[in-house]
Amino acid sequence: MGSIEDFRSEAHDWIEANLPSELRVGNRKDLPKELLGAWIQAMASRGWVAPEWPTEYGGGGLDRSHAAALRAELKAFRAPVVGGFGTQMLGPTLLELGTDAQKEEFLPGICKHETKWCQGYSEPGAGSDLASLQTRAVLEGDEYVITGQKIWTTGADRADWIFCLVRTDPEAPKHEGISFILFPMDQPGVEVSPLRLIDGSEDFSQVFFNGARAKASHVIGPVNGGWTVAKRLLQHERTTDGGSEGGITGAQKETYADVVKREVGFDNGVLADPVLRQRLASQEQEAAALSLTMRRAREEARAGQTARDIGSLGKYRWANMVKGEQDLAMLALGAHGLGWEGPGFEDTQLERTRAWLSTRSDSIWGGTNEVQLNVIAKRVLHIPE
Amino acid sequence: MGLILSDDQLILRDMARSFCEEKSPVERMRTLRDNQDETGFTRALWKEMAELGWVGIPFPEDLGGSDMGYGELGVVLAECGRVLAPEPFLSTVLLGGNAILLGGQESLQKELLPGVCSGDRLLALAFQEHGRFSPYHVETRAVATGSEFRVSGEKLFVLDGHVADQIVTVVRSSGEAGDREGLTLLVIDSGAPGVTVQRTTMMDGRNAARVSFNETPVDAGRLLGEVGHGADVLDPVFDRATVALCAEMFGSFEEAFERTLEYLKTREQFGVKIGSFQALRHRIAHMFGELEFARSVLLDAQTSIDEGRDDVAECASAVKARCSDVASLIGAEAVQMHGGIGMTDEEETGLFFKRLKAAEFTLGDAVYHRNRYAGLRGY
């Protein structure tokens, strides 16, 4: 692999040539579909949808530092982030725990961004206590027949496949009777019913299984050994979130700090409200500290120093930080932050309302704050229960 | 680099840890306090630290120093913080010593700093005139007459002021209290005419004094920096001292955290370990997060000095704001989680609690440093 500088400059030129200006606006929902499709195809052709995966599965074969250079270039161009459950969560888990046949079957589809995945974890009766899940899978010949219900399934209405936790041994202790299985969504036994959330979005669904079928060869890891696989995947999820930066959420064009400064105003060069000034400084310091802590964890791992697992800590602090940023923007906006839709409000104000509502879930999904603190107490601090 | 300890720093840490555990258990600090020891620390121990090269860490070799960085100094200070060692790093090395290093003429540096590095000379910096830290709020006046200044005024919270050989004093030569312009730094012998030093007994057992000046004559050759532009020296001195103080604080609250964690694992009530109660588990898990974030921000601030980055001031305020908050949280939770025993003088938790509170207010609390950070960031 060539030098980082050469690679970064090559990546820069390639992005410059392939990324249309209409797409250089960050992750927005209203991006022109055809342009976006072409961009994803171009990225897939270089293996850059999954830059660190092996080239034999369609990945980019880059090492960590080259991949970081690529991400930095993409970010500098404000390129839309290509990826999802397949690249961020299932892929890394398959690379680690899947058989060769499973990797060959599923990884290329993720790298080409052809197969969209969704995550079947939570159930109405299994939220924080995920291991109490009840969806049943019964072996019939070389297929499992699946009955039950999942909830909070992001993108279930668009997904081609689901990775799903199912109970394969109802007699075993709750952690030991679970399997991790993959199956297609487009089949008679699967029904998707979207859920409307407090921010008005309908990205989540309830999914009902009534005799859905999965190949027995599509169990990842050992049968009844799915809990280990599930936890490994959640670690990938937490790494992803803790590592990302706050500030601009989704489609927002201005940061929470921009909003505070504009709405509060200045008095002799100093933010006019001393309390909001304190809170803005706290938020900025928290964002810097989170990013430094994540960097330190990577440096410790690279240097082979005993690194404590800070995945749960990162998720916990990240969630609080993101919520705090939106809280602060809302405080500064006052009534301008209360609009729901229609005339009388600017788009940026309406987006801010929705963002504030939507970020309430950051301390809930992927393990609530309380669950993360439990994990830290038990696994990091080793306090007996 | 800089967010993890180098191999050399790890060796230094292990050395400092066994040195402090062997020669300076927390009990030593208590004995000094209870005996109302005249010095308030142990001169022989300070001399040993100097011989190990620790006292001279931030000074160049031609001045007798060991020319290392704030990364190394932080490692040593954190270990001192773990055992609450009251040796005069802050007063002599970081405040007084740095003021002479950053503002003094070569002749003055050569006269005073080798003695600092060898552990023989003690310094103090007299800056504070009000309860809350407010570095430009200086009313102590210096009037220039011919080749000398006449200094009059009163300073409080002069760390180690009662034993200092020289007191670097922040005086006003023009303007009004609160102005950044018009400050001047003078090196004043503690035995000079008109100098009165009154030792004050502090909550944390550390040394501080009220120092008053009455028409004290100071030779113009004892000037640091330029007349009226003392803040140009003072600001970077405070930044460095603040980062180093945070390293000491970090050691103290890391130790308080670890002792509290151990207590949760051993103390039993209602027939179970109290660490099994979720009300306590969540709080100590949160404290762990605060500790880890403080560690990252501290390492970054030390690196900013050692690499000569242009964001030292921002980093210094970010780390002091954070360490002040974390000191307050962990100090209070350590006492609370220890319960009644935590309120006794016999148990050592209270010693950490009181030192952390004093350090929180030294060189600016969290509110001060968030305001300063905001100003540096353009709001």
Region A326-336: mean pLDDT is 97
Region B28-45: mean pLDDT is 97
User: Which pLDDT score, from 0 to 100, does residue B27 have?
Assistant: 97
Tell whether the model's pLDDT for residue B268 goes beyond 80: yes
Rounded CA-CA distance B125/B140 in Å is 14
pLDDT higher for A243 or B364?
B364
Tell whether the model's pLDDT for residue A242 goes beyond 90: no
Q: How confident is the model at residue A307 (pLDDT cuts 50, 70, 90)?
A: low
On chain B, the residues whose CB falls within 8 A of the CB of A372 are: 285
Q: Which CATH number fits domain A117-224: 3.30.56.10, 3.30.70.890, 2.40.110.10, 3.40.50.300?
A: 2.40.110.10
The distance of A84 to chain B (nearest Cα, Å) reads 28
User: Which pLDDT score, from 0 to 100, does residue A302 have?
Assistant: 84
User: Which pLDDT score, from 0 to 100, does residue A305 have?
Assistant: 78
Instruction: Judge: B379–A277 Cβ closer than 8 Å, yes or no.
Output: yes
Q: What is the pLDDT of residues B73-107, one digit of tens each?
A: 999 999 999 999 999 999 999 999 999 999 999 99
The distance of A204 to chain B (nearest Cα, Å) reads 29
On chain A, the residues whose CB falls within 8 A of the CB of B295 are: 296
Q: How confident is the model at residue B57 (pLDDT cuts 50, 70, 90)?
A: very high
β-bridge pairing A161-167 and A117-120: parallel
On chain B, the residues whose CB falls within 8 A of the CB of A280 are: 374, 379
Q: What is the pLDDT of residues B312-370, one digit of tens each?
A: 999 999 999 999 999 999 999 999 999 999 999 999 999 999 999 999 999 999 999 99
DSSP string, A238-305: HHHHHHS--SS-TT-SS-HHHHHHHHH-EETTEES-HHHHHHHHHHHHHHHHHHHHHHHHHHHHHHT-
Is A304 at the interface with chain B, CB within 8 A?
Answer: no
Q: What is the pLDDT of residues A126-151, one digit of tens each?
A: 988 999 999 999 999 999 999 999 99
Tell whether the model's pLDDT for residue A22 goes beyond 60: yes
Question: Please, how many CA atoms are within 13 Å of residue A236, restricted to the half-sphere of its CB?
Answer: 19
Picking from B1, B3, B288, the nearest residue to A376 by CB comes out as: B288
Per the DSSP assignment, residues forming a β-bridge with B149 are B144, B218
**Could you tell me how far CA A203 lies from the centroid of its own chain?**
13
What is the b/e burial string over B256-282, where b = at least 16 CB atoms within 10 angstroms of the residue's CB? bbebbbebbeeeeeeeebbbbbeebbb
Rounded CA-CA distance B2/B69 in Å is 11
Closest CA to B93 of B25, B168, B183: B168
Closest CA to B242 of B360, B333, B67, B127: B360
Closest CA to A15 of A74, A69, A58, A67: A74
Instruction: Judge: A285–B370 Cβ closer than 8 Å, yes or no.
Output: yes
Per the DSSP assignment, residues forming a β-bridge with B158 are B209
User: Which pLDDT score, from 0 to 100, does residue A240 have?
Assistant: 54
User: Which pLDDT score, from 0 to 100, does residue A245 have?
Assistant: 39
Q: How confident is the model at residue B38 (pLDDT cuts 50, 70, 90)?
A: very high
Tell whether the model's pLDDT for residue A244 goes beyond 80: no
β-bridge pairing B123-126 and B166-172: parallel
Rounded CA-CA distance B231/B67 in Å is 25
Point out the catalytic residue in the list A73, A237, A325, A351: A237
Q: How confident is the model at residue A111 (pLDDT cuts 50, 70, 90)?
A: very high
**Could you tell me how far CA B314 lies from the centroid of its own chain?**
18
- For B149, other C-beta atoms within 10 Å of its C-beta total 24
Closest CA to B88 of B96, B31, B239, B233: B96
Domain boundary assignment for chain A: 4-82, 117-224, 244-380
CA dihedral B317, B319, B322, B328 (to 10 degrees): -100
Sign of the CA dihedral running B348, B346, B23, B117: positive
- For A161, other C-beta atoms within 10 Å of its C-beta total 21
Sign of the CA dihedral running A201, A204, A210, A214: positive
CATH number for the domain running over A244-380? 1.20.140.10
Instruction: Judge: B285–A373 Cβ closer than 8 Å, yes or no.
Output: yes
Q: Which CATH class is domain B123-228?
A: mainly beta
On chain B, the residues whose CB falls within 8 A of the CB of A289 are: 293, 296-297, 318, 322
Please answer whether residues B79 and B251 qualify as being in contact, where contact means their C-beta atoms are separated by less than 8 angstroms. yes
On chain A, the residues whose CB falls within 8 A of the CB of B14 are: none
Least confident range of A151-155, A187-191, B170-174, B356-360: A151-155
pLDDT higher for A292 or A246?
A292
Rounded CA-CA distance B114/B99 in Å is 14
Q: Is residue A105 annotated as a catalytic residue, yes or no?
A: no
Tokens (6 digits) for B216: 């004290």
* Domain B232-376: homologous superfamily in CATH: Butyryl-CoA Dehydrogenase, subunit A, domain 3 (1.20.140.10)
Instruction: Judge: B3–A296 Cβ closer than 8 Å, yes or no.
Output: yes
User: Which pLDDT score, from 0 to 100, does residue A246 have?
Assistant: 40
Is B278 at the interface with chain A, CB within 8 A?
Answer: yes
Is B265 at the interface with chain A, CB within 8 A?
Answer: yes
On chain B, the residues whose CB falls within 8 A of the CB of A293 are: 292-293, 296
Q: What is the pLDDT of residues B276-286, one digit of tens each?
A: 999 999 999 99
Tell whether the model's pLDDT for residue B194 goes beyond 80: yes
Instruction: Judge: B379–A261 Cβ closer than 8 Å, yes or no.
Output: yes
Picking from A269, A282, A373, the nearest residue to B370 by CB comes out as: A282
The distance of A91 to chain B (nearest Cα, Å) reads 29
Is A340 at the interface with chain B, CB within 8 A?
Answer: no
Region A24-45: mean pLDDT is 87
Tell whether the model's pLDDT for residue A187 goes beyond 90: yes
* DSSP state, residue A126: B
Rounded CA-CA distance B228/A281 in Å is 31
Please answer whether residues B146 and B188 qualify as being in contact, where contact means their C-beta atoms are separated by less than 8 angstroms. no
- A192's enclosing H/E stretch is strand A190-195
Q: Regarding the domain delimited by B7-90+106-117, which CATH topology (the fold level of the hierarchy) does it fall under?
A: Butyryl-Coa Dehydrogenase, subunit A; domain 1 (1.10.540)
Question: Please, how many CA atoms are within 13 Å of residue B27, restricted to the half-sphere of its CB?
Answer: 4
Tokens (6 digits) for A130: 């995920």
Picking from A277, A303, A313, the nearest residue to B289 by CB comes out as: A313
